[in-house]
Amino acid sequence: MAANKKLVFLPGDGIGPEVMRQVSRVIEWYDRRRIASFDVAEGMVGGCSIDKYGTPLTDETMAQAAGADAVLLGAVGGPKWDNLPFAQKPERGLLRLRKDMDLFANLRPALVFKPLIGASTLKPEVIDGLDIIIVRELTGGVYFGEPRGITTLPDGSRRGVNTQVYTTGEIRRVARVGFELAKKRQGRLCSVEKANVMESGVLWREEVQKLHDEEFRDIALIHMYADNCAMQLVRNPKQFDVIVTDNLFGDLLSDCAAMLTGSLGMLPSASLGAADSSGRRKALYEPVHGSAPDIAGKDAANPLASILSFAMMLRYSFDMDEEAKLLEAAVVRALETGVRTGDILQPQTQRVSTTAMGDTVLQQLDKLA
Ligand code: IPM
Ligand code: MG
């Protein structure tokens, strides 16, 4: 059996803890089956950390996460903390993890599982077989650009400022991730910006094109404006293979792509840093959905995005592609049995709890292994 892998588990707020509980059970299953063994340390991020320590992420937890082989995060935020000053909001904890670990490449695959075709609001033929991946830049752009803030003008009115900023280095390193992924897939990359109105977009387009011409001539590269991309995603999503885009557009487009698959509750993500000399990358895995305070604590949330995030961890952090496929197959089989959490409920399916969905995935793992 492979040596112990050091994981840091950050369940966070809202539905985070309950969906992550199901991931723990999956991890225990891999342990029990002696497929992989993990040392799991648990920490706090977001509102729960604010309540306990007065900050959305303590330096200790930050250091622990930075030292781990991989971090698994649930969700952060909720109405209880909505009125806090900006720098103290739960979301700052997540943003600090991304920034301090330099997790610049956020992979958000949108995959339509056959049993869920009917759960999408789009026509079945539009999404049948859909398999795209959005690579979102995660540590730059308007999320972190300076200057930022709200100031009061001499006439008493106020002014809010954020800055969209990218350097060639930031663009090239995330574009490279996009090209390399495309190489392993259908060989097509769509780079998305607003070069028609933003200088940062012009630079983005030029740098991605340059990198293509220098190193990735075998990849079919196209450029698209972000607004058009949003439209194309719902019009004909199968035209895409890999999309690479900035932090803000990636945030928007990945929610849009998620809904093609039927529910935000199905979408996993991986946030990766640069590879070190031994080829290892710092990494954080999290479901794309948020903390869903309205259903928190009710054992009603969909744990599959979190479980699929763990599958991404097996693949990207530990090079365990077979084991990742096993888990993904168990998720499909679980859906085939007809069980559904509320977010993916359809006629003729059975509504189940978060825990029962976890049970079903474990049963299918037992059958497949
Ligand atoms: C996401 C979320 C976050 C973001 C929030 C929680 C800060 O929407 O991961 O997509 O905007 O990046
Ligand atoms: Mg988002």
Alpha-carbon gap, residue 101 to 130, rounded angstroms: 32
Please tell me if the CB atom of residue 251 comes closer than 6 angstroms to any atom of ligand 1. Answer: yes
Q: Which tokens belong to 75?
A: 């969700």
From the CB of 286, is ligand 1 less than 6 Å away? Answer: no
Pocket of ligand 1, candidates 76, 94, 95: which has the most ligand atoms within 8 Å of its Cβ, to mutate?
A: 94
Q: What type of residue sits at position 242?
A: V
pLDDT of residue 2: 52
Backbone angles phi, psi at 110, to 5 degrees: -115, 110
Q: What is the pLDDT of residue 277?
A: 87
> Are 361 and 334 spatial neighbours (Cβ–Cβ below 8 Å)?
yes
Return the pLDDT at 87: 86
pLDDT of residue 3: 59
pLDDT for residue 105: 98
Split the chain (369 residues) into runs of 10 and give each run's mean pLDDT.
Answer: 82 98 97 90 98 97 96 97 92 97 97 91 94 98 97 98 98 98 97 98 98 98 98 97 98 92 92 90 95 97 98 95 96 97 94 98 97
- Cα three-residue angle 9-137-182, rounded to 5 degrees: 100
